[in-house]
Structure 1
């Protein structure tokens, strides 16, 4: 990696300005030193690093509570990105305590069930697995009460004079801020303030399934997945699966099809949708298709979108983006890690320039733009290419470091 991600922590010096109140049409407005839209991993990492350095921050999140929706499955936290962010946040020990042992194991299977690679987790890997929900809760618990304002969905944003911005929420309340950060994901409401770019469908969707009590109730699928991650690739089709907590298998079933293909079935009818997806894997080994047909939950369709590689914008006073809001890409195992590293880098830059936020934003973007562009360049074969096979991946993996294949 050409960009050096390892930075010394710069202690915040000087007292940051406190929030102030103004009134208009009988409503109260608060101008916070840093306002973050989005309480995902990136936004929360930023908030934590700012808190460590004594910089006031408020995070606004559309969800009504931390448990309003599922937070996804396992994440492998990389030593050169996500773990650096957690170190900057002062949470390394807490992170290590939540690592799931054994989950860095990897199995690579052909579509007929042939095992080409069975790599155990010997404890020396550099990308330990944790549950995304647990990691998010760790970050939430590390912040002072009231830092995150739940049930605040950004509806309208507009630029004001002097680099300030006004955010209007769905309930009609507003906030005016001198420094606005969009950490609000793929369909960011903040992004239009700096860029006209919009995510485009990449020609692939993923269907998620869960199998509970796998050893007892789904032994064939459980054996196929093993103790960690399963990859079963094929041109235009693939199955990824993880062994999560409590003997749960979480599968990501990938299909290279236009959105119209998925619209041909009703995902509101779980049985019909399951049958539709399973037919697309006809001829695959039954222990693999069981990850589709034996699902204990309704299959969830997730179309995949991405911004153009190398997405960037000219410096806009008082606002920036991080994570998927800034550089949404096809899944390559880097998304959550990059979002956290973005948050940590931005927090450290603001701490290093307490009296010059524009210098901090310029410093952050100068590192973030090339890093995200470089990371979006995936060495893996394209999903629908003839090389996207178990043997093709094995040939690729054997030419890389032991940690190379991990990522999701």
Structure 2
């Protein structure tokens, strides 16, 4: 068995690592030209029952523990005037430790044999060539033919059409991403408002969310429930104009909160949110399957990265357990994948907390969650 994986995100890399430690060779093809081609997103809370389990299956628990940013599990909810409505310092807890996505990806890359990941391999086409085999064509004109193809290539997967005609649809919400660097020194009031971990300031149809990253940097996602046409009218090639237009949606909010937008050290980046239909599934097609967002892209709810890693670990374990019957392994993997991802996608946490109950709906949820634990 040799597994061809498209995409060097967390799901694809966990799969490659789990296969490696079980003696099964794999090759990962990644469109980006190098590991450092772009930043890899912000903070991730890694859950015990899926993300941490996947890391353990990959044999990287010790390395993972070295990445944990202590105290970043703290969470607070504020009103738009800066009033603290909920504050959980999360002292002494470790159920959902926070790490930076880029660091997690790095330990996965470092755990693979040299040459496992082929960088600069952007897929231009995939086609079935019979008997469960598939040919992958890359933008540089080269091709590979494989008996086992795994699409770990995210929202706009080039592998997914082999299995499903579903395409991601706009979810009605977009994020605008900004950063404040060295905030404790340069923006002390804003740093104090954010606190030690995550800050949420939800209101009906909009929110400001910020995470404290390494080095005192604050990573902000402004969230706006607006049609795509609304964002299309904003010129994001003009950072000052785009910043002013986004900030206008939060007129009257406390200045220590709006500073996360107006004083950003990076140009605002628009990130439209798309999702596959909840409960997305496909019929078994010999020789190919999907992991992560390629199979179950959903509105952000804290589960995406964890599920992608769990997918990779579960698929790797299934293949290792049935090396002489790959189809049985893929069937068993998908049988567990479909209900697991459907359940996660059905929980529209973001939508619930930006409805007419905001911010108090989120406060009530967090208070109840604390009582349950």
1-structure distance, mates of 2:366, 2:70: 22
Which residue among 228, 232, 237 is the counterpart of 1:268? Answer: 237
- When residues 341 and 402 of structure 1 are mapped into structure 2, their CA distance, relative to the original with a 3 A threshold, is farther
Give the corresponding residue for 1:12. Answer: none
- String of CA shifts for 1:339-390, please: whole Å, max 9, x gaps: 0000000000000000011001001000000000011122635354202x12
Give the corresponding residue for 1:112. Answer: 81
Which residue among 288, 298, 302 is the counterpart of 1:329? Answer: 298
Contact 2:202–2:354, Cα closer than 8 Å, also in 1: no
Which protein has the bigger helix share?
Answer: 2
User: Is 1:386 the counterpart of 2:356 in the alignment?
Assistant: yes
User: Is 1:253 the counterpart of 2:222 in the alignment?
Assistant: yes
- String of CA shifts for 1:5-60, please: whole Å, max 9, x gaps: xxxxxxxxxxx5xxxxxxxxxxxxxxxx2000000000000000000000010000
The two structures have a TM-score, normalised by structure 2, of 0.98
- When residues 147 and 403 of structure 1 are mapped into structure 2, their CA distance, relative to the original with a 3 A threshold, is farther
Give the corresponding residue for 2:38. Answer: 69
Q: Secondary structure of 1:86's partner?
A: helix
Q: Secondary structure of 2:47's partner?
A: coil
Contact 1:163–1:178, Cα closer than 8 Å, also in 2: yes
Give the corresponding residue for 1:362. Answer: 331
User: Is 1:46 the counterpart of 2:12 in the alignment?
Assistant: no
2-structure distance, mates of 1:64, 1:96: 29
User: Is 1:279 the counterpart of 2:279 in the alignment?
Assistant: no
User: Is 1:140 the counterpart of 2:109 in the alignment?
Assistant: yes
Q: What is the aligned residue count?
A: 372
- Offset of residue 253 of structure 1: 0.3
Contact 1:256–1:383, Cα closer than 8 Å, also in 2: no
- String of CA shifts for 1:205-224, please: whole Å, max 9, x gaps: 00000001101111111011
The two structures have a TM-score, normalised by structure 1, of 0.90
User: Is 1:229 the counterpart of 2:183 in the alignment?
Assistant: no
Aligned positions of 1:28-43 closer than 5 A: 33-43=2-12
1-structure distance, mates of 2:124, 2:348: 38
Give the corresponding residue for 1:100. Answer: 69
User: Is 1:194 the counterpart of 2:163 in the alignment?
Assistant: yes
- Offset of residue 399 of structure 1: 1.6
Contact 1:127–1:403, Cα closer than 8 Å, also in 2: no
- Offset of residue 402 of structure 1: 6.5
Give the corresponding residue for 2:99. Answer: 130
2-structure distance, mates of 1:401, 1:345: 30
Contact 1:125–1:403, Cα closer than 8 Å, also in 2: no
CA RMSD of aligned residues (A): 1.2
- Offset of residue 318 of structure 1: 0.3
2-structure distance, mates of 1:257, 1:377: 21
Aligned positions of 1:282-361 closer than 5 A: 282-361=251-330
- String of CA shifts for 1:229-275, please: whole Å, max 9, x gaps: 00110111001100000110000100011111111111011111100
Contact 1:98–1:130, Cα closer than 8 Å, also in 2: yes
Q: For structure 1, list consecutive stretches of 5 or more residues without a partner in the other structure.
A: 1-15, 17-32
- When residues 113 and 342 of structure 1 are mapped into structure 2, their CA distance, relative to the original with a 3 A threshold, is same
2-structure distance, mates of 1:292, 1:370: 39
Which residue among 354, 358, 365 is the counterpart of 1:396? Answer: 365
2-structure distance, mates of 1:175, 1:319: 14
